């Protein structure tokens, strides 16, 4: 059933776009934001509190005028925050004094354009075009660009935030944390920010490394008595980009060092961009001091791409290799491989290699034959019921026991393990897992995942089951029976 509150949405959106301009509209009123009229209220549905605070601080006046113009009466603003994380997780505080964002994102396959900088470092020529000397990754390949990132509903906000970061370098929000599962484009986005900053602000010093390299550099400098040099290097950046922040989990000394570097950088006006495979609140054994800092800017999640976006990614990747991928082939790959973009890339690579080696036409038959083994393997992917069965068997619980209302530890602990394994081995969303295991909500699954990670990080923690030494051993036993 359609929600009658949103009957006037298109008129409201058109009027807001008219007032705030296409580019700002694209960033702040894109897919995740809804506009509707409910009685005397103009309802503004936003993805998280960051958006609520930003829109309230910057656009309340425009929204009130638009509401009145479209509905013919004065409306109060009412925000609905659809934050998918547990309450308190996304407590972010934007600094509404920053310059307005100006991103030109339009649709799933349209690359964003980054307008020229308002100031700061000397700007390059107004029409950037492909840079002659494209910055390279440590492995010598050119850095991926934001324009090459194909956004869909679950990644558009992250792309827009990275575009804004590359443009305003921390003046709009700081830090930016991008988090999400394996192979969903975190490194690509970070490289894109590094590349765009270098292009937009050629004088800027961009330090771009992994948390592991930061950790190794720190430990080595302690060992060799060169801590001062390490500090002056890591604290003199204009933009610090740190990948795989979850690597800092349980590394107390490195966390402290990074926290001081972070404070020094932010107080000198530098921008910080981070990626992690988990939300900062879920990284085990991260000090509260550091977690709070990471949550102090914008935290944005990358979701796995939907089928339309998967197809668009495949088409774009093939086009970048000069291949016009037939729709049927793109659809076949996109429908069978869903876990990550890296997996899609691998499949595309196999299909193109197969075509090249056999000289056959690139069509559905060729794709089927090239991917037969890969897809057979994926078809055996783990389902929620497999995890339920494996955990119940190991803990000797009755069928449906994990879905029951029982609050006894003998049931709640295995249920938490099952939820953790479901996140790890299936593509299911928090809400889907919660529903499956007895109609629970997504925050229960988030808490379960966090709890299990703490158990795993705690070496003193006893296992949950007689006969096993650690929680890790219990999980390994379940995973063995799942055939992973």
Ligand X SMILES: Nc1ncnc2c1ncn2[C@@H]1O[C@H](COP(=O)(O)OP(=O)(O)OP(=O)(O)O)[C@@H](O)[C@H]1O
In angstroms, the CA 387 to CA 422 distance is 7
> Helices 471-482 and 409-425 meet at what angle, rounded to 10?
60
The one among 43, 155, 195, 444 contacting ligand X by CB under 6 A: 155
Is position 401 annotated in a ligand binding site?
Answer: no
Is position 181 annotated in a ligand binding site?
Answer: no
Contact 135, 193 (CB under 8 A): no
The interface mask with ligand X, positions 339-378, x = CB under 6 A, is --xx--x---------------------------------
Nearer to ligand X, 162 or 265 (CB): 162
Category of 155 on φ-ψ map: left (φ > 0), alpha (ψ -120 to 50) or beta: alpha
Strands 34-38 and 41-46: antiparallel
Nearer to ligand X, 143 or 382 (CB): 143
Question: Per-residue DSSP letters for 119-168?
Answer: SSSPP--SS--S-SS--B-TTSSBPP-GGG----TTTHHHHHHHHHHHHH
Site for ligand X in 28-57 (CB under 6 A): none
Closest approach of ligand X to the CB of residue 147, in Å: 10
Nearer to ligand X, 148 or 479 (CB): 148
Closest approach of ligand X to the CB of residue 188, in Å: 4
Site for ligand X in 284-343 (CB under 6 A): 313, 341-342
Closest approach of ligand X to the CB of residue 462, in Å: 31
Nearer to ligand X, 71 or 187 (CB): 187
In angstroms, the CA 375 to CA 359 distance is 22
Site for ligand X in 260-289 (CB under 6 A): 277
Sheet strands side by side (includes 271-276): 206-210, 239-243, 271-276, 176-180, 298-302
Closest approach of ligand X to the CB of residue 144, in Å: 5
The interface mask with ligand X, positions 175-214, x = CB under 6 A, is -------xxxxxxx--------------------------
Q: What are phi and psi of 469, to 5 degrees?
A: -80, -40
How many chain residues touch ligand X (CB under 6 A)? 17
Instruction: Give the sign of the dihedral formed by CA 23, CA 266, CA 193, CA 242.
Output: negative
Closest approach of ligand X to the CB of residue 249, in Å: 14
Site membership for ligand X, residue 150 (CB under 6 A): yes
Nearer to ligand X, 156 or 415 (CB): 156
> In this structure, what token pair is assigned to residue 171?
């003046």
Closest approach of ligand X to the CB of residue 192, in Å: 9
Question: Could you tell me the CA-to-CA distances from 471 to 249, 465, 482 in Å, in that order?
Answer: 18, 8, 17
Q: Which of 366, 333, 206, 215 is nearest to 273 (CA)?
A: 206
Closest approach of ligand X to the CB of residue 339, in Å: 11
Element (H, E) at 334: helix 327-336
Is position 186 annotated in a ligand binding site?
Answer: yes
Is position 185 annotated in a ligand binding site?
Answer: yes
Bridge partners (DSSP) listed for residue 136: 142
Nearer to ligand X, 83 or 345 (CB): 345
Nearer to ligand X, 62 or 306 (CB): 306
Count CA atoms within 13 Å of residue 407 on its CB side. 0
Would you tell me which residues interact with ligand X (CB under 6 A)? Answer: 144, 148-150, 155, 182-188, 277, 313, 341-342, 345
> Which residues are annotated binding-site positions for ATP?
183, 185-187
């Amino acid at each position: 059933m359609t929600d009658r509150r949103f009957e006037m949405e298109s008129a409201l959106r058109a009027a807001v776009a008219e007032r705030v301009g296409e580019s700002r509209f694209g960033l702040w009123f894109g897919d995740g934001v809804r506009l509707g009229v409910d009685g005397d209220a103009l309802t503004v549905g936003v993805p998280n509190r960051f958006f609520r605070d930003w829109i309230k601080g910057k656009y309340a006046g425009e929204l009130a005028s638009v509401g009145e113009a479209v509905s013919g009466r004065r409306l109060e603003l009412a925000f609905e925050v659809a934050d998918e994380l547990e309450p308190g997780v996304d407590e972010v505080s934007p600094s509404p004094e920053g310059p307005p964002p100006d991103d030109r994102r339009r649709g799933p396959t349209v690359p964003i354009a980054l307008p020229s900088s308002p100031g700061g470092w000397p700007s390059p020529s107004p029409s950037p075009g492909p840079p002659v000397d494209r910055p390279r990754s440590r492995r010598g390949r050119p850095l991926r660009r934001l324009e090459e990132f194909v956004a869909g509903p679950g990644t558009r906000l992250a792309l827009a935030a990275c575009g804004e970061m590359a443009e305003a370098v921390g003046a709009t929000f700081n830090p930016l944390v991008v988090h999400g599962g394996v192979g969903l484009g975190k490194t690509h986005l970070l490289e894109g920010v590094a590349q765009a900053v270098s292009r937009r602000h050629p004088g800027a010093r961009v330090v771009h490394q992994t948390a592991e390299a930061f950790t190794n550099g720190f430990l080595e400098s302690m060992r060799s008595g060169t801590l001062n040099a390490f500090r002056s290097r890591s604290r003199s950046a204009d933009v610090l980009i740190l990948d795989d922040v979850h690597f800092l989990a349980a590394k107390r000394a490195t966390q402290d060092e990074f926290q001081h570097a972070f404070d020094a950088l932010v107080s000198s006006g530098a921008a910080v961009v981070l990626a992690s495979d988990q939300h900062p609140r879920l990284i085990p054994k991260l000090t509260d001091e550091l977690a709070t800092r990471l949550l102090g800017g914008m935290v944005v999640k990358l979701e796995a791409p939907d089928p339309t976006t998967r197809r668009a990614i495949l088409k774009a990747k093939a086009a970048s290799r000069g291949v016009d991928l037939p729709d049927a082939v793109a659809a076949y790959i996109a429908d069978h491989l869903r876990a990550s973009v890296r997996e899609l890339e691998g499949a595309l690579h196999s299909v193109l290699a197969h075509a090249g080696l056999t000289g056959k036409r690139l069509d559905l038959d060729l794709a089927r034959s090239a991917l037969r083994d890969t897809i057979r393997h994926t078809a055996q992917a783990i389902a929620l019921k497999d995890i339920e069965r494996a955990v119940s068997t190991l803990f000797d619980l009755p069928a449906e026991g994990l879905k029951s209302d029982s609050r006894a530890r003998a049931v709640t602990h295995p249920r938490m393990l099952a939820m953790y394994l479901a996140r790890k081995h299936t593509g299911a969303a928090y809400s889907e897992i919660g529903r499956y295991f007895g109609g629970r909500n997504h925050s229960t699954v988030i808490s379960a995942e966090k709890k299990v990670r703490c158990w795993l990080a705690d070496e003193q923690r006893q296992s949950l089951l007689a006969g096993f030494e650690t929680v890790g051993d219990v999980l390994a036993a379940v995973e063995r029976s799942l055939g992973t």
